Amino acid sequence: MDDNLEDWPTCDWCGRELGDFNLELAEGRLRNIFSASPNAITTTDIYGVITDCNNATLEIHGYDSKDEVIGRSAFEFMAPHERELAEERFKELLDLE
């Protein structure tokens, strides 16, 4: 092989594999934080519907299973006097109005 770059083998997939590995590593770290946190953590879709929650969320709200929480509005878990303002702020944040 001479010094001409055209003659050297390329490895386009190497960078992609490294990126995939780093993404999996970061996702694993986030999953660990999510699971181990003593604080309630929930994820929602853009409409405020809960898509996931950690065990602390279940304990704080008195549920045994994620199935009891996932699919419900996150606003149901707020104090009634704070719910309307929270919904307004959420919509403003996402600019859904």
Q: Where are the domains of the chain?
A: 10-37, 40-97
Q: How confident is the model at residue 94, as a pLDDT? A: 85
Q: How confident is the model at residue 35, as a pLDDT? A: 94
CA distance 53 to 41: 6
Q: Which two tokens stand for residue 11?
A: 């490895």
Is the CATH code 1.20.58.1610 the one for domain 40-97?
A: no
pTM above threshold 0.95:
no
Q: Which residues of the chain have pLDDT under 70?
A: 1-15, 96-97
Q: How confident is the model at residue 71, as a pLDDT? A: 98
Q: How confident is the model at residue 57, as a pLDDT? A: 97
